[in-house]
Amino acid sequence: MSKNIVIHDYDISRSKRNKVNGHESFVLWFTGLSGSGKSTIANKVEEELFYKGISTYALDGDNIRSGINKGLGFSKEDRLENLRRISEVGKLFVDAGIVTIAAFVSPLISDREQVKKILGKEDLIEIFIDTSLEECEKRDVKGLYKKARAGEIKNFTGIDAPYEAPKDPEIHIQTETTEVDQAVQLIINYLEETHRI
Ligand SMILES: Nc1ncnc2c1ncn2[C@@H]1O[C@H](COP(=O)(O)OS(=O)(=O)O)[C@@H](OP(=O)(O)O)[C@H]1O
Ligand SMILES: Nc1ncnc2c1ncn2[C@@H]1O[C@H](COP(=O)(O)OP(=O)(O)O)[C@@H](O)[C@H]1O
């Protein structure tokens, strides 16, 4: 803690907010290669939760890398800082009583260890969107793999930057054998079975 910074406790606590909202707050953290299906599945999971009356918010590349993290690139250091700030923002949302959905490549085990350290194991549900590089490249939703192969983008995850698969995620989805709707149902089932919702 910096010198001369004194934390002020507010009376409206997270547990009061959770009680009023009628549900817990936590982060669903999606990790996987670009094009693996993180945003597609995260978006539908949010929709499903939202229409169940749950307060949700999705943090995704668009609202983060063009806003709070404008100026950060894709070096190992910048990714770590990107994910550190996202985790801190996620922590605020959880404190605000919101089920927070985060969809980021988050490629390294050490990146995700930092996320876990900031959010705390209890408030984090890690979801590995497991799609082979071959399939992501075939999808090439944004045409970025083509550019990376042509050398027009450097440090592209899966091409010339590493992706380290999670060893023990709470939820593991293989999109080449699981349809989007099935993936969403697996996540909702997990949340119900673990009494998160
Ligand atoms: N070099 C490189 N490597 C990986 N991805 C790249 C890169 N350059 C741009 N993009 C686009 O940025 C999205 C990934 O941003 P993230 O913030 O999720 O990345 S990270 O977690 O900090 O590694 C990723 O979005 P998604 O496709 O939604 O995953 C890409 O579209
Ligand atoms: N089973 C599946 N799960 C998720 N996405 C799938 C699946 N099958 C095909 N797709 C397609 O793959 C693409 C994934 O893109 P996107 O969700 O933007 O990935 P990411 O956010 O990981 O970069 C979408 O065009 C989606 O329709």
Task: Please report the ipTM that was assigned to this predicted complex.
Answer: 0.99
Q: What residues does ligand 2 touch, defined as CB less than 6 Å away?
A: 32, 34-41, 103, 139, 141, 175, 178-180, 183
- pLDDT tens digits for range 82-94: 999 999 999 999 9
Ligand nearest to the CA of 153: 1
What is the CA(13)–ligand 1 centre distance, in A? 35
User: Which token pair is 81?
Assistant: 């800082």
Cβ(197)–Cβ(21) under 8 Å?
A: no
Q: Which residues pair with 125 in a beta bridge?
A: 28
Q: Letter for the amino acid at 55?
A: S
Alpha carbons within 13 angstroms on the beta-carbon side of residue 169 total 21
Cβ neighbours, 10 Å, residue 18: 16
User: Which token pair is 107?
Assistant: 């490629």
Q: For the residues 35-51, what does the mean pLDDT come to?
A: 98
> Residue 96: its pLDDT value, please?
98
Q: How confident is the model at residue 9 (pLDDT cuts 50, 70, 90)?
A: confident
Q: Which residues pair with 126 in a beta bridge?
A: 29
Residue 138 burial (C-beta neighbours within 10 Å; 0-12, 13-18, 19+): exposed
pTM of the model: 0.97
CA dist 28 and 46 (Å) reads 10
